[in-house]
Amino acid sequence: MMMCRGGVMARQKRHLCRWEVEIMSMHKVTKKKRKPRQKHISTKHKKQLLCPYCGAQALLREGSFLFEDAYVKHLYVCVRYPECDSYVAAHDSSKKPMGSLANATLRKKRILAHQAFDQLWKGSVGNAPIFSRKQAYNWLNDKLGGLSGHIHIGGIGEGMCDMVIQEAQRVIRNHKRR
């Protein structure tokens, strides 16, 4: 079982972080075969979400579309799935995507980036947090070029994920030397 956020077990019903969902889906959940003719969920969003890999439309689906034990209620999935393996989780209430569509490689990089980043403000086994959560996100904003607005790992690409991992590890190493 995975521990997260103050020792709360991840199997309990609660809102999970995007990276927690990805980790659980990689380790605990088996993918189902694609169901034929499953209707997509209609949304009020007027902006069409397109797959960055193949250019096809992404549709909002139930989490059970991809996973037997759906830890996430809704996903945007490329209509060419499983040939194009890109999807992203959606917020339960607003149905807005939690980032950009990602293939398996990018999803794995985002998980690793989140693990490294979260150590900065959550700490790790035997290590206290280095920053507050707000300070950590300000640090992330600075490292990603000071882009305006909210920065989320769910919206960055492979190169920036690598940079976040390297920079977070550097901060952790420097902090341990003190």
Same domain, 1 and 69: yes
Are 93 and 120 in the same domain? no
What is the pTM for the complete model shown? 0.70
Q: In this structure, are residues 151 and 140 in contact, taking their beta carbons and an 8 Å threshold?
A: yes
Tokens representing 54 are: 């193949």
Q: Are residues 95 and 111 in the same domain?
A: no
How many residues would you count in the chain?
Answer: 178
Asked which of 77, 101, 125 is the last residue of a domain, the reply is: 101
Tell me, yes or no, whether 4 and 68 share the same domain.
Answer: yes
Residues 156 and 87 in one domain: no
Mark which of 45, 73, 101 sits at the end of a domain. Answer: 101
Task: Say how far apart CA 37 and CA 83 lie, in whole Å.
Answer: 16
Choose the final residue of a domain: 79, 101, 123. Answer: 101
> Do residues 86 and 74 both lie within one domain?
yes
Q: What is the mean pLDDT of each run of 10 residues along the chain (178 residues)?
A: 42 48 49 51 65 96 85 92 94 92 96 94 83 90 72 89 94 82
- The pLDDT of residue 108 is 96
Task: Tell me what pLDDT residue 24 has.
Answer: 52
Number of domains in the chain: 2
pLDDT at 120: 93
Residues 68, 144 within the same domain: no
Instruction: Output helix, strand, coil percentages for the chain, rounded to the nearest 5.
Output: 35, 15, 50
- 93 and 65 in one domain? yes
> How buried is 165 (Cβ within 10 angstroms: 0-12 exposed, 13-18 middle, 19+ buried)?
middle
Q: Collapsing DSSP states into helix, strand and coil, what is residue 137?
A: helix
Is 139 found in the same domain as 59? no
Indicate if 129 and 61 belong to the same structural domain: no
Whether 81 and 153 map to the same domain: the answer is no
The residue segments making up the domain with residue 163 are 105-177
Regarding whether 136 and 94 lie in a shared domain, the answer is no
